[in-house]
Amino acid sequence: MSKKMQSELVAILSDLIALPSPYPPGTSVEICAYAARRLKKAGYKVETVTRTRGVDNVVARMKAKGAKARKGGPVIAFNAHVDTVGVGERANWKSDPYKALVRGGLVHGLGAGNCKGSMAVQIWLAEEIARRGGPARGELIFTFVADEENLGPDGMAFLRKTGRVRPDALILGAQTENNLIVAERGVMWARITTRGRAAHAGNPAAGDNAILRMMRLVGALSSYYDKALARRVSGAMKSTVNIGMFHGGHNTNVVPSACTVEIDRRLLPNEKVKDAFKELKSVIDGAREPRGTYAVEFLTGTNGFFAPENGAAVGAFEAAVKAKTGRKVKFLNATGVSDGRYYADDGIEIINFGPGSGAQGHAANESVPIAGMVEAVEIQLEVVARLLS
């Protein structure tokens, strides 16, 4: 392990932890300015992109130069999100969340694991590639984005929508213990609203209880999904449904006139968001509640993805992990969703990779191992050499 690399990675991560970027509010101006300064100094063409004031994103590019550049080559994009969750209960932290604590080979601090550890790795990686003269062919892009914790439209979704980042392979920083996540479920969120008629609770028959109507609809959904989703399995991935929010009524002694639930559907890569919403609405319509007493609303959603294990980027990672560590890379199952979902329909390789354990993310006293950061750099340097040299 290079002592110089180790100390430089810790210094970068310490800087990042000291630049607060929690959601809410999701402000990312200072931390993006830090990344932009470093990569511009390294020789990258850097752009700070903003859709909503205060929510900045950084796009840094470096193309191959000279005779080899004319031969073309792939566009490889790296990504790490700059935002974190909030501190939560301050009493649960054993140290200052915004001051890096280095102890026992770990760096502790808010976002150390998710995702500032990967961000530090990618900043060092970008600078090292520049020191070595840049990519020999193709183009290399580093993106540092906000709005990931919010699942919002102001970060990677905006870069995709505006066409600023359209790679052949997208490598996202994630806590995979330097293994790979190449498949991810899609997600679909929907809202169901029921209407009724208010009345005094002492005479409920005079009203029309919107909560009871919602309970009938949710019961119909549960009965349907219990059977339908049991058959939708792909390896370790399962198609799931969750009732995440249930709100109704405004006073105990009043028959409720309105009720709302919000639903989270996780979809296998071969399921589509549009079809999942149609399926949900069909079940609700089939429950035969009176017309006009309920509504089904699509909130948001993105399809899942699966990068073929024989793809060029996946193959480069498999070879690089073997070359640098002597072990065979593991393919992990993703519980959540990443910013790669915005590119799910683009036919590109999408890979999640990085140091740290997923169990550390969103937890008090989160940390990332220094040795894991060094290993992540060494593996990804080898990946870039295989893809762009």
Q: Does residue 347 contact residue 168 with C-beta atoms inside 8 Å?
A: no
Per-residue pLDDT at 2: 82
Q: Write b or e for each residue in 136-146: b if 16 or more Cβ atoms lie within 10 A of its Cβ, otherwise e.
A: bbbbbbbbbbb
- Spell out where 197-338 has E strands: 233-234, 237-238, 240-248, 258-267, 294-302, 305-306
- Tens of pLDDT, residue by residue over 118-154, are 999 999 999 999 999 999 999 999 999 999 998 899 9
Is 85's pLDDT higher than 90?
Answer: yes
Phi, psi dihedral angles at 133 (to 5 degrees): 100, 5
Average pLDDT over residues 259-269: 97
Q: Does residue 190 contact residue 298 with C-beta atoms inside 8 Å?
A: yes
- Tens of pLDDT, residue by residue over 167-176, are 999 999 999 9
Q: Does residue 191 contact residue 245 with C-beta atoms inside 8 Å?
A: no
Among the listed ranges 136-145, 173-182, 198-207, 329-338, which one has the minimum average pLDDT value? Answer: 329-338
* Residue matched to tokens 């609303």: 297
Report which of 107, 127, 150, 138 is spatially closest to residue 17, judged by C-alpha positions.
Answer: 107
According to DSSP, residue 67 is labeled G
Average pLDDT over residues 237-244: 96
- Tens of pLDDT, residue by residue over 148-158, are 998 899 999 99
Q: Long-range pairs for 294-298 at CB < 8 Å and ≥24 separation?
A: 294/192, 294/193, 294/194, 294/195, 294/213, 294/217, 295/192, 295/193, 296/190, 296/191, 296/192, 297/190, 297/191, 297/192, 297/193, 298/188, 298/189, 298/190
Domains of the chain: 3-184+304-388 (3.40.630.10), 186-302 (3.30.70.360)
Rounded (5°) CA angle 359-348-143: 60
Q: What is the number of other CB atoms lying within 10 angstroms of the CB of residue 96?
A: 15
Rounded (5°) CA angle 264-268-269: 120
Phi, psi dihedral angles at 130 (to 5 degrees): -65, -40
Q: Can you read off the two tokens belonging to residue 145? A: 């984005």
- The strand pair at 101-103 and 106-108 is best described as antiparallel
- Tens of pLDDT, residue by residue over 333-387, are 998 889 999 999 999 999 999 999 988 888 999 999 999 999 999 999 999 999 9
CA distances from 119 to 58, 113, 196, 215, 281 (A): 12, 10, 51, 45, 41
Per-residue pLDDT at 67: 55
- Tens of pLDDT, residue by residue over 298-310, are 999 999 999 876 8
With 0.75 as the threshold, say if the pTM is over it.
Answer: yes
**Rounded Cα distance, 173 and 126, in Å:** 13
pLDDT-based confidence at 69, cuts 50/70/90? low
Average pLDDT over residues 82-94: 96
According to DSSP, residue 272 is labeled -
Per-residue pLDDT at 290: 97
- Tens of pLDDT, residue by residue over 9-52, are 999 999 999 999 999 999 999 999 999 999 999 999 999 999 99
Helix (H/G/I), strand (E/B), else coil: 313: helix
Is 70's pLDDT higher than 70?
Answer: no
Per-residue pLDDT at 358: 86
Contacts of residue 84, defined as CB under 8 A and 6 or more positions apart, other chains included, come to: 21, 22, 23, 110, 111, 114, 115, 116, 149
- Find the helix packing angle between 3-17 and 370-388, rounded to 10°: 100
Report which of 322, 334, 308 is spatially closest to residue 383, judged by C-alpha positions.
Answer: 322
